[in-house]
Amino acid sequence: MHTALDDWFIREILVHEAALAGFLRRCWPHRDELHDLRQEVYVRVYESAGRALPQQPRAFLFATARHLMTDRLRRSRVVSIEAMGDLEPLHVLIDEVSPERWCGGREGLRKLAEAFDQLPTRCRQVVWMRRVEELAQKEVAMRLGISEKTVEKHLARAMRLLAEQCHGQVMDMAWGRRQARERRHGQQGD
């Protein structure tokens, strides 16, 4: 006996089976896992729809497939400690820090501090609250009077900009223009 959820699933999700199969074939390198992968996508979509029906079922289906593939790739890269075996033969001395390493660490920290100081004001506030004060995303959003999604965007942007600065890449032009404008006008927000 079909439930309303079953009918929705057949009508809104299973009609995209051929497109999903093609997408998985193009994106997933392990052909022997395609059937299981597709079934797991269906299970995730069905279970999620049981809690709340997605507004855009097709987009939700493909987003779920992308997330599942990402999860599987991430899990496949994890190396177990047992697989590493005994570390003693490697002669790894964790407590010993060479002068070169100590200076390199100090230099890296200096670069990070300079890059942090150059972040747009709002990005800097978000990074400080999330990473230094270790506040929850919801708490940061409340304190700054912005949405949680905006907190995520500021944090992602800040991390990208910090990485670019610390690794010697050229910062993006929009950020440079905004920094110059903030300096000229003394603006606070981003």
What's the pLDDT tens digit per position in 178-189? Answer: 666 666 665 444
What is the pLDDT, as a whole number, of residue 189?
47
HSE-CB at 65 with a 13 A cutoff on CA atoms is 26
| CATH no. for 102-185 | 1.10.10.10
Query: Where are the chain's structural domains?
Result: 4-76, 102-185
- Alpha carbon 55 to chain centroid distance? 23
Q: Residue 60 — very low, low, confident or very high, per pLDDT cuts 50/70/90?
A: very high
Name the H helices within 52-147: 57-77, 81-84, 99-118, 121-127, 137-144
Contacts of 52 (CB under 8 A, 6+ apart): none
